[in-house]
């Protein structure tokens, strides 16, 4: 009961203190010129004071002092030396952010300050992951702890781009991590979580949309530091990964996810820009594709709706962590389910931006016309395929020995495995598989590959049958399985370029489908020439502004079916209705027709007013 009263007093005191202090802090910061002015990247349309984070810091310290005076500094959480050192370091982190709010420090200088505080947290405050993972060597603990703290600080720094977002997510994180201590019965540590939560609640009064003051770097960096380091002080007694790392990780899930995406996205764009203009683009350059920017655009630029969507995501993550703690032995299954659901949500969110940018980069690398670059990649092609094939064939041999409970001894390693691998490899060489340009491969090339794998496997199986009598009972099913899987894996890597190209074309189509400046086309003809036309669109996917919305074909037997994900809508006679239904802008003829039938097509489409083009191949003497 005493701990409960202490938590309640701390929360209320911090909330009241922050409510009272924030207007004063806002006035001081405004006079100091710490104001966020509107620009094309920022969401605020009017100047807003920044640097409000030190109001939260002051509110927390006043509440801590009050709780200490009322209940004594000689017991509970306050007797830990790490707590006071953590307090000093959090003040230091806040001051670095405050200097950045005033003078706009270069990113590298700010990062150096964050690293210095993180290193002090390990060397001076004694914070680290060794309390959870006792097997971890000191040097690894130093690296992981520093990365964890700096990553959390920057995660909250990057997510602070919307009114009330970072402070609201930090409030949810504090409640969640305090709740995890409650589940464990370690009530002495809950008080500080409630104090910080109270300070955030008071600050949200001024930071929620429409905000009159922003956290600034001093606030976001302070919150990131406190949230990442507090569990190392309060959760160490449990020695549980889920409690010490899992719940804090889930509580910071939204900022961490957004930061990871930002690193990937900016790195890819930096590589793309560098190919166009040496030195263009920096990984640390800000952009407007953060998670909150995307949701903001999707909900009609409503900051409150966007904030509550992200609040809900954070609450769900925290609840998953707390439920996982209560389930104990079933926690692993819950985490797997959560990861599976998160994977689907993540892919749905990132494929239109990060994956599209990755496709642009791959496309530019693949079509780089510089002689030296192309020669370098061409020289590596054959060694890559040879190495890949030998590794796959060797691993398959070991895997099937394990599946068939065949003891892998020196005899197997020196005879059985080499016979299987070398027999397939030699047949592939004899079938000229390694002289094939797989980016231009045709059906006959893949048939050679399949035949080489099957014949090589059967040849190796025959040799093993007579050379190793002890394996005769298993040699037939093992050889058949080996042939099938070797075919599949060797085919997969050679077809990967086409698979990836089609994947990015599908991503490009989904990205273009909602844009108003995209030309929507119907293709007349579903034969080979259509496939050639689609291939041209795929090759220019990153620079394309056209999308196929359907196919017209006079073969009524294939109406309603799909070719490459595109539906055959119907015959030419139904073209006006199809154009109206698909809102098509143009029709591309991708089949061979004579002048008479071309006149029929023109007369049929003339009332619709759509543009008509003819895709064809021409051969002429030069």
**In this predicted model, what pLDDT tens digit does every residue of 395-449 receive, in sequence order?**
998 888 777 776 666 666 677 788 889 999 999 999 999 988 887 788 899 999 9
> Count of alpha carbons within 13 Å of 489, Cβ hemisphere only?
16
500/535 same-domain check:
no
Higher pLDDT, 232 or 228: 228
Last residue within a domain, chosen from 286, 316, 350? 350
**pLDDT digits 0-9 by tens, 72-81:** 776 666 666 6
287/402 same-domain check:
no
**pLDDT digits 0-9 by tens, 528-543:** 888 888 877 766 655 5
* Rounded (10°) angle between helices 303-327 and 331-350: 160
Average pLDDT (152-163) is 88
What is the number of H-type helices and E-type strands within the chain?
23, 8
Residue 605 in this model has a pLDDT that exceeds 80: yes
**pLDDT digits 0-9 by tens, 582-597:** 889 999 999 888 889 9
Question: What is the pLDDT at residue 75?
Answer: 66
Q: Which CATH number goes with the domain that contains 549?
A: 3.40.50.720
Q: Picking from 125-129, 343-347, 494-498, 508-512, which range would have the lowest pLDDT averaged per residue? A: 343-347
Residue 527 lies in a domain: yes
Rounded to whole angstroms, the Cα distance separating 430 from 460 reads 15
544/567 same-domain check:
yes
Rounded to whole angstroms, the Cα distance separating 6 from 192 reads 10
Per-residue DSSP letters for 119-163? HHHHHTS--SGGGT-TT--HHHHHHHHHHHHHHHHHHHHHH--ST
Rounded to whole angstroms, the Cα distance separating 330 from 310 reads 27
Q: Which residues contact 483 (CB under 8 A, 6 or more apart)?
A: 453, 454, 457, 458
Last residue within a domain, chosen from 301, 318, 350? 350
Give the pLDDT band of residue 237 (cuts 50, 70, 90): very low
Residue 361 lies in a domain: no
CA dihedral (428, 431, 434, 439) in degrees, to 10, reads -110
Total domains in the fold of the chain: 3
Residue 32 lies in a domain: yes
Query: Phi and psi (nearest 5°) for 137?
Result: -65, 160
275/312 same-domain check:
yes
330/478 same-domain check:
no
Residue 85 in this model has a pLDDT that exceeds 60: yes
Contact of 429 with 421, CB cutoff 8 Å: no
| Domain that residue 190 falls in | 2-350
> Count of alpha carbons within 13 Å of 477, Cβ hemisphere only?
6
**pLDDT digits 0-9 by tens, 287-339:** 777 777 778 877 777 888 889 988 988 888 888 777 766 665 555 555 556 66
Rounded to whole angstroms, the Cα distance separating 56 from 261 reads 29
Q: What sign results for the dihedral spanned by CA atoms 500, 502, 507, 512?
A: positive
496/547 same-domain check:
no
263/336 same-domain check:
yes
Identify which of 52, 224, 70 has the alpha carbon closest to the alpha carbon of residue 147: 224
User: In this structure, what token pair is assigned to residue 378?
Assistant: 């061409």
Last residue within a domain, chosen from 504, 533, 555? 504
**Strands, E assignment, 481-610:** 519-524, 546-552, 562-563, 566-570, 586-589
Higher pLDDT, 367 or 611: 611
CA dihedral (223, 224, 225, 228) in degrees, to 10, reads 120
Residue 242 in this model has a pLDDT that exceeds 60: no
Looking at every residue in the chain, the average pLDDT score rounds to 82
Neighbours of 378 (CB within 10 A): 10
500/541 same-domain check:
no
């Amino acid at each position: 009961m005493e701990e409960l009263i202490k938590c309640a007093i701390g929360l209320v005191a911090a909330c009241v203190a922050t409510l009272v202090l924030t207007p004063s802090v806002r006035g001081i910061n405004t006079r100091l010129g710490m104001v966020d002015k509107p620009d094309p990247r920022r969401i605020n349309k009017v100047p807003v004071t920044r640097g409000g984070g030190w109001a939260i810091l002051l509110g927390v310290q006043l509440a801590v002092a009050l709780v200490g005076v009322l209940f004594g500094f000689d017991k509970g959480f306050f007797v830990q030396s790490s707590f006071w050192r953590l307090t000093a370091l959090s003040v230091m982190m806040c001051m670095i952010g405050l200097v950045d709010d005033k003078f706009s420090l270069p990113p590298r200088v700010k990062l150096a300050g964050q690293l210095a505080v993180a290193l002090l947290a390990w060397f001076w405050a004694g914070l680290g992951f060794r309390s959870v993972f006792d097997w971890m060597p000191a040097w690894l603990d130093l690296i992981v702890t520093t990365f964890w703290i700096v990553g959390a600080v920057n995660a909250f720094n990057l997510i602070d781009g919307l009114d009330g977002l970072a402070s609201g997510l930090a409030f949810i994180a504090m409640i969640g991590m305090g709740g995890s201590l409650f589940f464990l019965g370690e009530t002495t540590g809950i008080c500080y979580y409630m104090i910080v939560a109270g300070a955030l609640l008071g600050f949200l009064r001024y930071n929620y949309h429409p905000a009159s003051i922003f956290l600034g770097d001093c606030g976001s960096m302070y919150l990131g530091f406190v949230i990442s380091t507090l569990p190392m002080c309060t959760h160490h007694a449990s020695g549980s990964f889920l409690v010490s790392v899992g719940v804090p990780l889930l509580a910071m899930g939204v900022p961490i996810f957004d930061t990871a995406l930002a690193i990937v996205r900016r790195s890819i764009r930096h590589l793309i820009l560098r190919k166009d203009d040496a030195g263009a683009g920096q990984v640390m350059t800000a952009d407007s594709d953060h998670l909150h920017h995307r949701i903001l655009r999707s909900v009609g630029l409503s900051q409150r709706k966007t904030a509550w969507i992200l609040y809900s995501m954070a609450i769900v993550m925290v609840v998953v962590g707390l439920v996982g703690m209560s389930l104990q032995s079933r926690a692993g299954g819950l985490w797997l389910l959560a990861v599976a659901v998160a994977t689907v949500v993540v892919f749905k969110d990132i494929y239109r931006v990060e994956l599209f940018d990755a496709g642009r980069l791959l496309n530019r690398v693949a079509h780089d016309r510089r002689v030296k670059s192309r020669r370098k990649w061409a020289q590596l092609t054959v060694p890559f395929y040879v190495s890949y094939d030998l590794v796959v064939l060797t691993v398959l041999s070991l895997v099937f020995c394990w599946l068939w409970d065949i003891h892998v001894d020196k005899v197997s390693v020196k005879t059985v495995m080499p016979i299987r691998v070398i027999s397939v490899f030699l047949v592939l060489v004899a079938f000229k598989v390694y002289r094939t340009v797989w980016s231009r491969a045709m059906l006959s090339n893949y048939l050679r590959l399949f035949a080489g794998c099957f014949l090589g496997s059967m040849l190796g199986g025959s040799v093993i049958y007579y050379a190793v009598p002890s394996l005769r009972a298993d040699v037939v099913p093992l050889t058949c399985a080996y042939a099938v899987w070797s075919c599949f894996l060797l085919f997969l890597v050679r077809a990967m370029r086409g698979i990836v190209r089609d994947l990015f074309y599908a991503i490009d189509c989904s990205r273009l489908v909602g844009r108003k400046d995209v030309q929507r086309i119907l293709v007349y003809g579903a034969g080979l020439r259509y496939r050639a036309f689609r291939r041209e669109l795929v090759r220019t996917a990153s620079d394309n502004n056209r999308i196929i919305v359907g196919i017209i074909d006079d073969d009524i037997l294939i109406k309603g079916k799909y070719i490459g994900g595109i539906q055959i809508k119907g015959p030419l006679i139904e073209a006006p209705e199809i154009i109206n239904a698909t809102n098509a802008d143009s029709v591309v003829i991708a089949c061979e027709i004579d002048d008479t039938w071309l006149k029929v097509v023109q007369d049929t489409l003339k009332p619709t007013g759509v543009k008509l083009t003819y895709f064809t191949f021409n051969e002429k003497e030069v």
